[in-house]
Structure 1
Amino acid sequence: MFKVMIVDDEPAIREGLKTIVDWDAIGFEVAETAANGREALQKYERIRPDLMIMDIRMPGMSGLEVIEQLRQDKLRQAHVLILSGYADFEYARRALGYGVDGYLLKPVDEQEMEEELRRVHRTLEQERRVNVRRSEPVPVHEVVEQMLLSSSGKEQNKAETELQLDWDRYQIILLELREGPGRPSEGLARQFRRLSDWWTDDPKNIVFRAGSYLGILTGREADRDSLLQLRQRLLAQEPEGYQVYLAAGEATGDKSLIHDSYEQAESLMNRRFWAGESGILQMEPAPVEPEDEVTVPLAGEWADRLYYAVDIRSLNAVERVMQELITACRSASLSERDTKSLCSHVLSLALSRLPGSIAGSGPAVQKCLSLIPELYAMSTAGQIIRLVLQQIGELLESMDGGSHESVMKQMTDFIRRHYSDNLKLEMLAEIFNYNSAYLGKMFKTYTGESFNHFLDQVRLDNAKEMLAQGMKVHKVAAQVGYANVDYFHSKFKKYTGISPSAYREQMGQG
């Protein structure tokens, strides 16, 4: 029997895990439980469990901190399965970098839990059978792992000395396999075997493990085409929906700089969120610093643009807005988490305005809003754009799809619906994807009036109706889109020949 320790600050979770699983049938026994991280470390010294099932977020000392301490000097002494809530995904992903065996989402599914335990049990049995002695030669891939992943400079130097390689070039490639948006794969062992089998005949390729990644130390500098071929070969072995990301550090002719190539590849993989459709990340020239200070995108402004794009039933306009928003986030050096938060906020603000302007759209909008949490599970910015397009595409279909009317008809209708907003010709040109000067000429040809004149006329026609109902002048000015009452007064008198207050009195007498 292999010993298990359950670590969770919730008593119900600890007791529940002890009872929902037939531990004996799988080959485990629950030897101990702990209510927090510090207690777990204290009991670890006495119990020496083969497997720890640990909550990632606990008060006082988190599960991640426990794993960090265990890995400092007991790298291969305990297997770990972590428990996390959906909102803790990024936290859990960090833990995978410490070589944990996997993670389970709360509430724990009994069948999934048993599958994970059987998988870990097979690994433990294999380790027991192999029982590698220290006197036996260390496999070359383990030497590479020690050189690259050890926190001790002394151990790194020792491993570098033991690595008997005399190549012209050295380059590190890291590989990440994901089973779907936001879900790290648990098939690394399988891919490790495949990669090793493919390159057995080539002594200038060494496959190794690097936490939640696979690594390749190659003596043949990999260009983009070879990385794409490798990615396609890996994807061909997996079910549909899997994603593969490859990050390549710079090649070097100095063996002592292999670690630099590894750190470059790791840094690139940390920026995987900005990877394009190819899934390939390579070192690029440093970006030219912009002359003007880049500002953080404001949710309200982008929500307006997205709302208008949805309002005119244009999925192409929605795509342009999202592409530009993502570009703005990257230019402002926002983190992955902040970018997801901003996109979620923009989408929520934009969609929440629709029921007030499009009759009957409420249920479809609520369905769309309910899918926003999925945005946080996306692995890349491109996946966020595709998710938003899919959601809004379904929303538009439920609202009878896009309009087939002419652009000018859409534009005049749009102005009549949104006359109280701060409308500008340049903004509408972006929405409708036209040059602003050209759009202005088209608009005047179609309506016989300039854009600004038409907008003023629509606003003032609505102002007349409000004044006729007895509304106060300053409230009418704000309602129809004029922030300055004096400006509204001059505009109204210019167009009607009478002041707003005189018009209201005149209509009241009638």
Structure 2
Amino acid sequence: MIKVLIVDDEPKLREGLRTLIPWEEEGYTVVATAANGFEALEKFHTFAPGLVVADIRMPGMDGLELITELRKQNANCHVLILSGYADFEYAKRAISCHIDGYLLKPVDEEELISYLQELRVTIEREEQFSKLQTEAEVSHHEAWLRGLLQPGSEDITVPEAASRLGLQGESEVILLQLMRPLKGEDGREERVRSLLERYLPPERAIFFSLPPFLGFLLKEPLKDEAARTALWQELNRLIAKEGLDFYAASGGAAAEPEQAAASYTAARELLEQAFFGRREILVDGAVEQWAEAVEEPGELTDSERDEEMELLLAVETGSTEVLSPLVRQIICKLVETRHEEAYIKDNLIRIVSSTIARLEAVNPDVRTLISENASPASEVYNSYYLSDILSMVADYLEHIAKQLNTGGRGDEIKRITDLIQRRYNENLKLGMLAQIFNYNSAYLGKMFKNQIGEHFNTYLDKVRIEKAKQFLTQGMKVYEVAERVGYMNADYFNAKFRKYVGVSPSAFRKEQ
């Protein structure tokens, strides 16, 4: 629809023109009316109409003065003049202002409609031409940008591209990657682009699109961290209007146009690693390093550690304070094995699922807890930052741990003996439990001996042997019983059984 502004000092005539003419049938829509030239100028700048229908004589600023002012401002609009005076001088003055028609009052409806029909054809041609011209300018503009940011991609030199773009001195490339617009809603990216172009006018930045990235070349680099934070916050405000998440990175300042390509490359490489960084920042340097390190590594070597087992025991005993560090250590190992988003997400979900399954195997109450607390799998797969995933998984496991231990955690030795009764077949180690309960293993061992009357390993062996006797009584084979109670070596199991029972497992089974 072509927008129309009606200007006349007579209210009845304004209303009559607005309601009696079938504007929409002819492809027009009346967006505003005005009583004089001054009011018309204000509304023109607000609504940007394609057609102004104005009375030639009005108090204050008349129609001819209005048209003259619009032409001075290079306003791109068409004008129809209305007059109650069949005066040749008025007609001459109006024609000199490049009007599109001159109608006498009272307005003949058919004559006005005829003008509207002719003007619609003219305006549509102009709009089509303007669109083609804009597309051509955009095409050239993008070619110059590619020549600047990706030297060799276009038949244009970097100095020529910089000259065409009006680029001198320092600059800085900012790259954005919008995260997976929903199917059927791809128009959101165009709306984001429109918002960003309004926020960063041409005198401040050159906007570009190099799929899968949007970006802009700042004509003045960001001065400091405060400027980077402010830019990120504004980007977030604009993009959030379309409900999208995004990565943003700066390639750093380029001292001269020839270095803009290096700034672009640096920003692109940072975006490729943004998953490993932090949200709510404009990435402008090395992303967070997920090196496997803890402030106090404890007494177990890397080869002795079994973080997945520690994770299970920490949840089961309600040791929530160590869960986040354990999840982080697991993530560090995954990153070290394969620096790949999908691999890390898949294995984290596997570890969480395995932990829950092993909890269920010895505690029927876990099934109810799980049904009341949805798995974080969906959130993990839909997350764009590894730091967020760490928080999601740790929070979920901490919640399960608290629910499992609602009666209070009690003293550590009681928790350890209860754990042994449930996990006798696991590879339990005093050092591992010391890690979980934040004790020195020697000190924890003394505590255990003083309270239970036996060393940790002795107590564990005795529990295993008692369980083994039950299984042997049921007729199970010796090697099956050995594995069932946590001894992977059958000969070692035989030796332990003889030590505590006085006969071999086979002899014991025959006696039953």
TM range (shorter): 0.5 to 0.7
Q: Distance in 1 between matches of 2:471 and 2:387?
A: 46
Q: Distance in 2 between matches of 1:445 and 1:228?
A: 57
**Would you say the 8 A contact 2:318–2:405 is kept in 1?**
no
Q: Distance in 2 between matches of 1:406 and 1:214?
A: 57
Residue 206 of structure 1 is matched in structure 2 by: 206
**Would you say the 8 A contact 2:345–2:381 is kept in 1?**
yes
Q: Distance in 1 between matches of 2:399 and 2:291?
A: 40
SS in 2 for 1:457: helix
Aligned pair partner of 1:443 in 434, 448, 458: 448
SS in 2 for 1:422: coil
Q: Distance in 1 between matches of 2:178 and 2:194?
A: 14
Shift in Å, 1:333: 3.8
Q: In the superposition, relative to structure 1, how do residues 451 and 489 fare at CA in structure 2: closer, same or farther (>3 Å)? A: same
Gaps of 5+ in 1: 1-125, 291-296
Residue 234 of structure 2 is matched in structure 1 by: 233
Q: Distance in 2 between matches of 1:373 and 1:275?
A: 20
**Would you say the 8 A contact 2:307–2:329 is kept in 1?**
no
The answer to whether residue 217 in structure 2 is matched with residue 217 in structure 1 is: yes
Q: Distance in 1 between matches of 2:257 and 2:165?
A: 9
Q: Distance in 2 between matches of 1:143 and 1:369?
A: 51
The TM-score normalised by the length of structure 2 is 0.61
**Would you say the 8 A contact 1:314–1:402 is kept in 2?**
no
Q: Distance in 1 between matches of 2:393 and 2:441?
A: 27
Residue 250 of structure 2 is matched in structure 1 by: 248
Amino acid corresponding to residue 267 of structure 2 in structure 1: A
Q: Give the aligned CA root-mean-square deviation in angstroms.
A: 4.3
Amino acid corresponding to residue 260 of structure 2 in structure 1: I
Amino acid corresponding to residue 353 of structure 2 in structure 1: S
Q: In the superposition, relative to structure 1, how do residues 408 and 465 fare at CA in structure 2: closer, same or farther (>3 Å)? A: same
Amino acid corresponding to residue 211 of structure 2 in structure 1: G
**Would you say the 8 A contact 2:425–2:486 is kept in 1?**
yes
Q: Distance in 2 between matches of 1:504 and 1:317?
A: 43
Q: In the superposition, relative to structure 1, how do residues 339 and 496 fare at CA in structure 2: closer, same or farther (>3 Å)? A: same
Aligned pair partner of 1:268 in 262, 267, 270: 270
Once the two structures are superposed, the pairs formed by residues 160-171 of structure 1 within 5 Å of their partners are 160-167=162-169, 169-171=170-172
Shift in Å, 1:269: 0.5
Shift in Å, 1:366: 5.8
**Would you say the 8 A contact 1:351–1:369 is kept in 2?**
no
Q: Deviations over 1:80-114 (max 9, x none)?
A: xxxxxxxxxxxxxxxxxxxxxxxxxxxxxxxxxxx
**Would you say the 8 A contact 2:409–2:415 is kept in 1?**
no
**Would you say the 8 A contact 2:291–2:332 is kept in 1?**
no
Shift in Å, 1:244: 4.5
Once the two structures are superposed, the pairs formed by residues 463-502 of structure 1 within 5 Å of their partners are 463-502=468-507
Residue 155 of structure 2 is matched in structure 1 by: 154
Shift in Å, 1:418: 0.7
The answer to whether residue 427 in structure 2 is matched with residue 425 in structure 1 is: no
The range that moved more, 254-263 or 469-478, is 469-478
Aligned pair partner of 1:460 in 443, 456, 465: 465
**Would you say the 8 A contact 1:149–1:210 is kept in 2?**
no
Q: Deviations over 1:415-439 (max 9, x none)?
A: 2211111122233233334444443
Q: Which protein has the larger Cα radius of gyration, Structure 1 or Structure 2?
A: 2
Q: Distance in 1 between matches of 2:136 and 2:472?
A: 95
**Would you say the 8 A contact 2:277–2:288 is kept in 1?**
no
Q: Distance in 2 between matches of 1:397 and 1:430?
A: 19
Q: Distance in 2 between matches of 1:333 and 1:183?
A: 34
Once the two structures are superposed, the pairs formed by residues 99-138 of structure 1 within 5 Å of their partners are 130-132=131-133
Residue 90 of structure 2 is matched in structure 1 by: none
**Would you say the 8 A contact 1:173–1:249 is kept in 2?**
yes
Amino acid corresponding to residue 331 of structure 1 in structure 2: E
SS in 1 for 2:283: strand
Q: Distance in 2 between matches of 1:145 and 1:456?
A: 71
Q: Distance in 2 between matches of 1:183 and 1:264?
A: 32
Q: Deviations over 1:466-502 (max 9, x none)?
A: 3344444333222211122222222223334444344
Q: In the superposition, relative to structure 1, how do residues 332 and 467 fare at CA in structure 2: closer, same or farther (>3 Å)? A: closer
Once the two structures are superposed, the pairs formed by residues 18-37 of structure 1 within 5 Å of their partners are none
Once the two structures are superposed, the pairs formed by residues 238-317 of structure 1 within 5 Å of their partners are 238=240, 243-284=245-286, 303-317=308-322
Q: Distance in 2 between matches of 1:391 and 1:289?
A: 23
Q: Distance in 1 between matches of 2:412 and 2:366?
A: 23
Q: In the superposition, relative to structure 1, how do residues 198 and 153 fare at CA in structure 2: closer, same or farther (>3 Å)? A: closer
Shift in Å, 1:265: 0.7
Residue 361 of structure 1 is matched in structure 2 by: 366
Shift in Å, 1:323: 1.1
Amino acid corresponding to residue 269 of structure 2 in structure 1: S
**Would you say the 8 A contact 1:273–1:381 is kept in 2?**
yes
Amino acid corresponding to residue 235 of structure 1 in structure 2: N
Shift in Å, 1:462: 1.9
Q: In the superposition, relative to structure 1, how do residues 227 and 448 fare at CA in structure 2: closer, same or farther (>3 Å)? A: farther
Q: Distance in 1 between matches of 2:395 and 2:186?
A: 24
**Would you say the 8 A contact 2:171–2:255 is kept in 1?**
yes
Q: Percent identity?
A: 29
Q: Distance in 1 between matches of 2:263 and 2:206?
A: 15
Q: Deviations over 1:277-299 (max 9, x none)?
A: 44442333998999xxxxxx99x
Q: Distance in 2 between matches of 1:462 and 1:235?
A: 60
Q: In the superposition, relative to structure 1, how do residues 469 and 397 fare at CA in structure 2: closer, same or farther (>3 Å)? A: same
Q: Distance in 2 between matches of 1:134 and 1:240?
A: 25
